[in-house]
Amino acid sequence: MWPVILAIASTVALLCTMGFFMMGSLPLLILKHDTPLDARFIRSLFNLHYRAVMLTATVAALAYGLAGKPAFCAGMAAIALLGFGLHRTIVGRMDALRGTMTPSDAPGIARFRRLHVSGMLLNVLQLGAVAIGLTQLAL
């Protein structure tokens, strides 16, 4: 019984993490992204988000595996792997841009903003995938 409880709890934690990030990163789009402080804060938020997704999805995958739900185990493992890949890609690119960006570097600022928006859109897709997957949940 405890694997089922752990699976549900970690899935709820994953949904909360994704929902918090979605709601928390949306207002940050009003920032100009042109100061090192803006870029550092947004990068830190993405870094924390992807680490939380990796952790909670991994725990959920293990719990679903122990609960005998291989499809959900695979789905959560895919979310964890996607979080790992996005962390390396999005945060890595943000780090590269942050080091060279200046307030007068319009193309660099635009690339950073696109990374921010892309990360948010990918999070919405992940959140949707988890939510749709949960509609199939029959514990």
Share of the chain above pLDDT 70, in %: 94
Mean pLDDT value across the chain: 87
Which pairs count as long-range contacts for 24-29, CB under 8 Å and 24+ apart, including other chains? 25/49, 25/116, 25/119, 25/120, 25/123, 26/120, 28/116, 29/113, 29/116, 29/117
pLDDT at 80: 95
Rounded to an integer, the average pLDDT of 92-106 is: 82
Q: pLDDT, tens digit, for every residue of 11-59?
A: 899 999 998 888 888 777 777 666 777 788 888 999 999 999 999 999 9
Q: pLDDT, tens digit, for every residue of 53-87?
A: 999 999 999 999 999 989 889 999 999 999 999 99
Which pairs count as long-range contacts for 65-72, CB under 8 Å and 24+ apart, including other chains? 66/3, 66/6, 66/7, 67/3, 67/4, 67/7, 67/139, 69/7, 69/139, 71/136, 72/7, 72/133, 72/137
pLDDT category, 138, cuts 50, 70, 90?
A: low
What the chain holds in terms of domains, given with CATH numbers, is: 2-135 (1.20.120)
Q: How many CB atoms are closer than 10 A to CB 34?
A: 18
